[in-house]
Structure 1
Amino acid sequence: MRPYIDVHCHIGSTVSRSPSVGQSVGRYMARMASAGVTAAILSPTAGGPQAHGVRDTRRQNEEVARACQAFPDRFPLGLAGVEVRHEGAGVDELRRAMMDDGLVGFMCHPALSGHSLGAELHPFLEVVAEGSGLCLLHQAGSTANIAAYARRFPTIIFIIGHVSMNRQTHDDAIRQCADIANVWYDIAQKPTPDEPEWGLPHLLGGLAADRVMFGSDAPYYDFRLVQRLVEDADIDHTAKDGIAHGAATRLIRSLLPEWEPPTGALHPPQRYTDDEMWAARGPRLL
């Protein structure tokens, strides 16, 4: 199988679900090695611990930064987490994470963090724009909100997460974002089978095909299903390579020009059993 680069994965624990779900850096590296994923853009889990407010967010951001520093070939870019309810303290933490820890932007999940995608994110986005960085945004209703951000902050690269998880988001992204050059897309949790009326060929035809990328949504989803979907899709090998690693390589190099995709074997710090890596209920990892 061709190599894959993951632009949508999370480190840490989501405690706002029962049971809680999460993964360490080592466990994710084991999953990567098992599934042919050679590199990834890391971000914290959404819905993580917040008993200590912004101090918890800082600990989550530092965990991502440590992984990027320890394994720079495998994790060339890292994103911070943000909580809009932290207001100015949260903006300050994002700036610290980017300036001191080398993170390049942020990830947010409105459904788990309790906000919309409106002006409440503008102070955070301004910090990222100062560094011409990257934001991974989970949708909150129409992608028109993300399109508005992309036009307002043209120096930021935006990734729309889960762009094709259902027919509504698939069509909405094509309608709202197809002509915006700083919007990219991941196909995390794209359902199988690939339905012809809104499958990968239709998505590639409707969006900029060179900005559609693989995302795992680990630790929540058995992302091998998405890899299988790409491999079986009725698209040519060049398009499959683009989704698997080509587009992600260009995105990473736009922020880190010296980075080279790793080609050697990945050696996780701990050996996990198949059940520890892939036990699932349906497509959902346990």
Structure 2
Amino acid sequence: MGPAAAFHAVAFTHRPDQENPLISGRSDAAEEYRAAWRELDAACAAHPDRFVGFGKVRLDVTAQRIAEDVEREVVGRGFRGIGELTPPPDEAGRVGPVLRAAADHGGLPVVVHGFAPTTAGDLATLAALARRHPTVPLVVSQLGGLNWLTAIELARETPNMYLELSTAHLVFAVRLAINEVPERTLFGSDAPYGDPVLARATVERVTPSGELRDRVLGGNLAELLGL
């Protein structure tokens, strides 16, 4: 298996959106972001051979502030990408300024939450934004959640859109994603909510031993990050 990446997000507990503003994308708690940055700094510093950090930025601020945060809190901290971002439902357009900032820094990869509260409409918005910023790899996590078929169709049509495979409800969904975009599917487990062993077994179940499996389990990500 290839190099691992830490797609960092503020820790949360799965609850209905109205009870948990973090997972609903409605949190504006600045101290929680600062705490997350410190936690990620510490993890990457302690295990530089195991983790590649992705820095989270707020979506409820101006485009100028987002650009400043990307420069200071992502690039300035030596992180290799941005995310995981969780806009409120049907407000994926908030990711647009992040993609512009990512493009300004050489095309940093951007990871966006794919399960609820992300909607099918959000996935379409994200694909449209990705096409406006072709140098920026846009990773949709959790295979788009219940909208996995839409996510696969959009990724097939959008050359810089990637799919992270964790929490897939059907083995067939993982098989189809790999078949359709074999060079843009990325292994993921969504741990601690998902199980890394089972997630890997799913990939192994739907791929033959060899180059394709190696790409999905690490090669694609290593190529994406220039490792």
Whether the TM-score (by the shorter chain) exceeds 0.5 is yes
Aligned match of 2:83 in 99, 106, 120?
106
Which residue does the alignment assign to 1:229?
202
Aligned match of 1:148 in 115, 128, 138?
128
Please tell me whether residue 173 in structure 1 is matched to residue 146 in structure 2.
no
Q: Deviations over 1:142-177 (max 9, x none)?
A: 3221211111112211111112644x42x2123222
Please tell me whether residue 85 in structure 1 is matched to residue 60 in structure 2.
yes
Structure ID, larger Rg = 1
- Verify the 8 A CA contact 2:130 2:158 in the aligned structure 1: yes
Q: Distance in 1 between matches of 2:206 and 2:144?
A: 14
Aligned match of 1:72 in 48, 60, 65?
48
Q: How does 1:1-286 map to 2 (within 5 A)?
A: 3=1, 5-7=3-5, 9-10=7-8, 13-14=11-12, 17=15, 53-76=29-52, 78-87=53-62, 89-103=65-79, 104-111=81-88, 116-118=91-93, 120-131=94-105, 132-139=107-114, 140-142=118-120, 143-163=123-143, 165-166=145-146, 168-169=147-148, 171-191=149-169, 194-195=171-172, 198-200=173-175, 202-206=176-180, 208-233=181-206, 235-253=208-226, 259=227
**Alignment RMSD (CA, Å):** 3.0
Residue 124 of structure 1: how far off its partner (Å)? 2.5
Return 5+ residue gaps in structure 1 as ranges. 19-44, 254-258, 260-286
Residue 74 of structure 1: how far off its partner (Å)? 1.2
Give every structure 1 segment of 4 or more consecutive aligned residues whose post-TM-superposition deviation is greater than 6 Å. none
Return 5+ residue gaps in structure 2 as ranges. 17-21
Q: Indicate how the Cα distance of structure 1 residues 248 and 129 shifts in structure 2: closer, same or farther if over 3 A, else same.
A: same
Where relative contact order (Cα < 8 A, 6+ residues apart) is larger, the structure is 1
Q: Indicate how the Cα distance of structure 1 residues 233 and 150 shifts in structure 2: closer, same or farther if over 3 A, else same.
A: same
Aligned residues: 214
Q: Distance in 1 between matches of 2:139 and 2:82?
A: 11
- Verify the 8 A CA contact 2:7 2:111 in the aligned structure 1: no
Secondary structure of the residue aligned to 2:142 is coil
Task: Give 1 or 2: higher strand fraction.
Answer: 1
Farther-moved stretch of structure 1 (86-95 vs 231-240): 86-95
Task: Give 1 or 2: higher helix fraction.
Answer: 2
Q: Distance in 2 between matches of 1:91 and 1:55?
A: 19
